[in-house]
Chain A
Amino acid sequence: AQTVTQSQPEMSVQEAETVTLSCTYDTSENNYYLFWYKQPPSRQMILVIRQEAYKQQNATENRFSVNFQKAAKSFSLKISDSQLGDTAMYFCAFMKPDNAGNMLTFGGGTRLMVKP
């Protein structure tokens, strides 16, 4: 079974600064997908960024980028120019395409506080 570990339960960053959230995972699979989801106080889950394991290029979405290290099984999220609206829980997730529904496995989450 796959496991996803987020080693930072809580983090804080000053507005406009850069912060990196860590995520490691354990799998024997070669083909899989990784995701970062944001859950603000409204508790709506929002997709931040997605990475296909077969792609070597790191995914980017505006101020959000990942550092995907496949050999090290690491998938960190970098948030540049942090904004107050980035305050949320962030979940790293793993998905292995299979015939069992392609379910997501979530990490424990990192609570990020952006300070003015």
Chain B
Amino acid sequence: GAVVSQHPSRVICKSGTSVKIECRSLDFQATTMFWYRQFPKQSLMLMATSNEGSKATYEQGVEKDKFLINHASLTLSTLTVTSAHPEDSSFYICSAREPARYGYTFGSGTRLTVV
């Protein structure tokens, strides 16, 4: 089946630095990828929809200058958390829509801790 690889799985960074999270579709082309944020014991909150070759669509309340999304190829989308602060600490998950059917494959997530 379709596989989405997400890296890194865990990252600790200092406040003020930037962190890049990668999401790759391994065996299919993903024209659309989604980025979610999940707080402990809560549901997934959609941050943005990433489309290959075009600008990402951000959900209301998500700072596009802080959470930079790039979808430069059909197999890779990246989320960069710029000038990270402790309140950005969270679990980030990517997802790709599988081709030819309405199904979604999720990455394994990235736990970001900003100290």
Bound CA span A66–B32, Å:
28
- Residue among A43, A91, A100, A106 making CB contact with B49, cutoff 8 Å: A100
Tell me whether A109 and B43 are in contact in the complex, defined as CB-CB below 8 angstroms, given that A45-B95, A102-B102 are known contacts.
Answer: yes
Q: Which residue of A lies closest to B97 (CB)?
A: A102
Known contacts A101-B34, A101-B57; A47 and B104 CB within 8 A of each other: yes
Which B residues are CB-close (under 8 A) to A33? Answer: 102
Q: Determine whether A95 belongs to the interface, using a CB cutoff of 8 Å to chain B.
A: yes
**Cα–Cα distance between A104 and B93 once the two chains are bound (Å):** 13
For residue B57, which residues in chain A have a CB less than 8 angstroms away from its CB? 100-101
Interface residue B46 (Cβ < 8 Å from any Cβ of A): yes
Contact status of A91 and B44, CB under 8 A, knowing A101-B57, A103-B34, A104-B34:
yes
Given A43-B91, A47-B104, A50-B103, A103 contacting B46 (CB threshold 8 A):
yes
Contact of B106 with A by CB under 8 A: yes
Contacts of A100 in B (CB 8 A): 49, 57
Majority SS of interface residues in chain B? strand
A42 at the A/B interface (Cβ < 8 Å)?
yes
The answer to whether residues A43 and B97 also contact, given A100-B49, A101-B34, A101-B49 and a CB cut-off of 8 A, is no
Q: How far is the CB of B16 from chain A (nearest CB, A)?
A: 27
Q: What is the CB-to-nearest-CB distance from B60 to chain A, in angstroms, rounded to a whole number?
A: 11
Q: Which residues of A contact B (CB under 8 A)?
A: 33, 35, 37, 42-47, 50, 52, 91, 95, 97, 100-104, 106-109, 111
Give 3 nearest A-B pairs by CB, closest first: A45-B106, A101-B49, A106-B43
Interface set of B (CB-CB < 8 Å, partner A): 32, 34, 38, 41-44, 46, 49, 51, 57, 91, 93, 95, 97, 102-104, 106, 108-109
